[in-house]
Structure 1
Amino acid sequence: MQGLWRATPYTVGFTLSDGESKTISGTTAFAPVYPDGSPGMLTVDLANQAQYVDLGGGTSGGDDLSGTMTLTYDATYLKVRATIHDDVHSPAADALNLWSADSIQFAFASGLPAPGGAYSEFGAALLGSGPALYQFSPVGGSVAGGQVSVVRDEARRTTVYSVQIPWAAAGLSPGDPYFSYSFLVNDSDGSGRKGFIQWGAGIGASKESAKYLPVQRMP
């Protein structure tokens, strides 16, 4: 539906009781998250609903980097799925450095985005050794109970990611009515990370959960 899962800048002006005028600005979204398998599940078109951040390598457009992302849940897991069109698959050497080449990263924080908030950040990639899932924050390492599948189709030039993160590992509870989320796709054509496409922010250029976007858990 139009307007859903779309980052939207806002500016709000108001006047205090003493007559002083204030302005608050930022970015928000209405992003409902439905149970896995629900007919209401929504897919984000990254080419139209996300932002490309150029780190000096440039991009040739949709054939270079594009795709879709879906976030759903069940009683046990938060589920991130992404189908990414990428003309050249170039992975990192290991899970710790997966961010430096073709991969996805995503993060969760409890409640609405706020400065200084705790967050849990993850990454997934198809390395030379196979699919990898890594937790970057709050501590680095493997994800207890996490599941990952990453499949590359060279003929179609697509990489399909399917990641399941336990609620507790994300720092969240299945009963949370809303939480904060950010997602990105890193791109490398063989000479290091040249850029990334992001929904939300606060992962790729800086570590700031205040730049995540709010999502709403639907029953």
Structure 2
Amino acid sequence: MTISVVVADDQELVRGGFAMILGAQPDIEVVAEAGDGAEAVEAVRRHAPDVVLLDIRMPRMDGIEAARVVCAESDTKAVMLTTFDQDDYVYEALHAGASGFLLKDVRRHDLVHAVRVVAAGDSLLAPSVARRLVADYVSHAPQRGPAPELGALTARESETLVLLGRGLSNAEIAAELVVSEHTVKTHVSNVLSKLGLRDRIQAVICAYETGLIAPGRN
């Protein structure tokens, strides 16, 4: 199965480099490139790609607003491209529905891996930038206290949410709970469904905002 991708960045060399790397993969097709957020949104509407890579800072419409529109209108997964240290407002992308974050100096292998992971329905929590973003975001966001919907979770599902909040992968959660990865996938799916969450990144936010995980705790 071929993964379709739109690459959006206002720097032509960066955009072209990413497109070339991804397009060289046998299972990935770059269906369009965009120089700003508005073009990215139109490209997504036209091509309905599996994944869109969005630079945070672009003219006309920035990557966060583009992600918000894309995630609201389609099933396309948005991955944000960031320099991190310069992008103080990148935390907004978490609530915009982004499925992951990549540094713009990402290694070739990690870029390809990220697209495959997100296209498969997972989120990028493993890279250090994502964990730093989440930790920094929640340390500044007020905790809203235990949400009533948490009561709908089983004990195992609650444990799974806590481990998601710690940034563990399915394999790591399986080892922690001494269950199969298939069982973990079921627990994760149930958590997202019962709490009305789009993906694992939003599950991490929920775990912190409801106090299940305290900022700075591993």
Name the TM tier (shorter chain).
Answer: under 0.3
Question: Which one has more relative contact order, counting CA pairs under 8 Å at least 6 apart?
Answer: 1
Say which structure is richer in strand.
1
TM score, norm. by length of structure 1: 0.24
